[in-house]
Amino acid sequence: MHIHILGICGTFMGGLATIARQAGHRVTGCDANVYPPMSTQLEDQGIALVEGYAADQLMLRPDVWVIGNALSRGIPLVEEILDRGERYSSGPQWLAENILPAKWVLAVAGTHGKTTTSAMLAWILEAAGKRPGFLIGGVPQNFGTSARLSDSALFVIEADEYDTAFFDKRSKFLHYHPRTAVLNNLEFDHADIFADVAAIEQQFHHFVRTIPRSGLLLTNAADAALARVLSRGCWTPVEQFGGSAGWQAEMLDADTFRVCYAGEEQGRVSWPLLGEHNRSNALAAIAAARHAGVDPGMACAALARFENVKRRMEWRGSAAGVAVFDDFAHHPTAIATTLAGLRNKVGSARILAVLEPRSNTMKLGVMKDALPGSLAAADRVYCYSAKLGWDPASALAPLGDKAVCHEDLDDLVGAICAEARPGDQVLVMSNGAFGGIHQKLLDRLSARHPQAAATSPKPPQT
């Protein structure tokens, strides 16, 4: 089969392209912006790419057009596909029809932690010799790729609640039909497509309806929204993690916790990852792997070798004694959780938080009132305020003079470097590339203090 993917350079669609190619299909694709590293990754697999969405791509004559959810009506190629009655599909639908039917699908859903938990689960299964396939919305450093097809019956997928395509407004995860499902948490997000949290709960309720009675549903016991979802009906056995029952994590020291289930110890995890959220993610992954036949003690041992996901508290370098970290956090809850984890690790060291409000929800300003509270643990706050429809300076006013905003990226970099001093931790938070700000910071710090930069030690893994 020849498939041509519209929006191929997105994380999900690029992963789908990789899986389709490994399944033996001919794959081509197009995107508005074709550039490394995704373009290089795809071309290395023999996938030809086209820049833009011109209608002349109809000459490629694929068997099916796979259309990403970033595409909308009015795009020339989309209009021509519809006018000519061409066969088309969404990415989740194509995956469900061509890859997943023969698989035991382990799906990880939730507002936060989907990528990390999926990566943990895939790594546990890999360490147990089960060699799962996977499609994850980030790059697990244990694998070096976001997607893989294997001959294993097991397939781990990050189950996103965002809509499927312009012609299918259901959440993506409704296509996956998992046997094992994790519900990490549920908060309001994606204000561009959901009116309120009740609308998201509705989609999660539909998701629960797709899980068979022979499967397993793992749910966060501390989440009230998930409790509301399950109260609407559940036909699958449930195990809980967190809370006072089910799977629990008990801290033994700064880097080690005991994993218990139904009051009995299952194993211990020793690792350098930060925060209670990662312990919760680990419990979910261990429990899901147990359902797929992995002993929890073995799963705990595997997590000691888990290397996290790129852009999840990822150390990008140090210069002049200043450490620079990159994190995907873009929701107030994720921002607060990330800062809390870093604060716990670095103690009284200064944290300079750098935020780009880039997600559709953030751009709409829906959660602006929650930002000051989420950033309270930082010693200084820097906000990139370009292309926003609301005033971040006013929103961050409760933080007083420790918060500043800049519309120009170079001015922002200059302000951070002027303030930074040895021992500081610069935490950059964005769900985009942020104009390469991480390297810009390191370069400018190095230029100012070349001797100090040369002797800056690498911090421990976070």
271 contacts 255 by C-beta, under 8 angstroms: yes
| One domain, residues 121 and 23 | no
Beta-strand relationship, 163-165 and 147-148: unpaired
Q: Provide the Cα torsion 172, 309, 338, 421; round to 10°.
A: -140
C-alpha–C-alpha distance, residues 336 and 257, integer Å: 22
| One domain, residues 18 and 119 | no
User: Is residue 309 in some structural domain?
Assistant: no
Q: Provide the Cα torsion 385, 387, 390, 396; round to 10°.
A: -10
C-alpha–C-alpha distance, residues 129 and 424, integer Å: 41
Q: Which is nearest to 377 in space by CA: 404, 409, 341?
A: 341
| One domain, residues 80 and 141 | no
pLDDT tens per residue, range 189-229:
776 777 888 999 999 999 999 999 999 999 999 899 999 99
pLDDT tens per residue, range 384-406:
877 777 788 888 888 888 888 88
pLDDT tens per residue, range 238-262:
999 987 779 999 989 878 999 999 8
- Final residue belonging to a domain, choices 34, 66, 91: 91
User: For the domain that residue 204 is a member of, what is the CATH number?
Assistant: 3.40.1190.10
Q: Which is nearest to 438 in space by CA: 274, 333, 313?
A: 313
* pTM: predicted TM-score of the whole model, two decimal places: 0.81
User: Is residue 461 in some structural domain?
Assistant: no
| One domain, residues 269 and 287 | yes
**pLDDT above 90 for 362:** no
| One domain, residues 85 and 224 | no
High-pLDDT (> 70) share of the chain, %: 94
Q: Which residues make Cβ contacts (< 8 Å) with residue 331, sequence separation at least 6?
A: 111, 112, 187, 189, 359, 361, 367
User: For the domain that residue 52 is a member of, what is the CATH number?
Assistant: 3.40.50.720
Which of 183-187, 198-202, 345-349 reaches the highest mean pLDDT?
Answer: 198-202
C-alpha–C-alpha distance, residues 29 and 454, integer Å: 43
| One domain, residues 173 and 78 | no
User: Is residue 460 in some structural domain?
Assistant: no
Q: What is the DSSP secondary-structure string of 44-60? A: HTT-EEEES--GGGGGG
Range of the domain at 394: 314-455
C-alpha–C-alpha distance, residues 422 and 459, integer Å: 13
- Final residue belonging to a domain, choices 303, 325, 355: 303
| One domain, residues 285 and 338 | no
Q: Determine the average pLDDT of the residues in 330-344.
A: 81
| One domain, residues 127 and 187 | yes
**pLDDT above 70 for 455:** no
| One domain, residues 164 and 133 | yes
| One domain, residues 261 and 338 | no
Query: First-to-last CA distance in the chain?
Result: 43
Count of domains observed in the chain: 3
pLDDT tens per residue, range 34-78:
766 677 778 888 899 999 999 999 999 999 999 999 999 999 999
| One domain, residues 407 and 376 | yes
| One domain, residues 447 and 348 | yes
Burial of 138 (0-12, 13-18, 19+ CB in 10 A): buried
Rounded to the nearest integer, the mean pLDDT of the chain is: 88
Q: Provide the Cα torsion 400, 403, 404, 407; round to 10°.
A: -120
- Name the band, by pLDDT with cuts 50, 70 and 90, for residue 154: very high
363 contacts 388 by C-beta, under 8 angstroms: yes
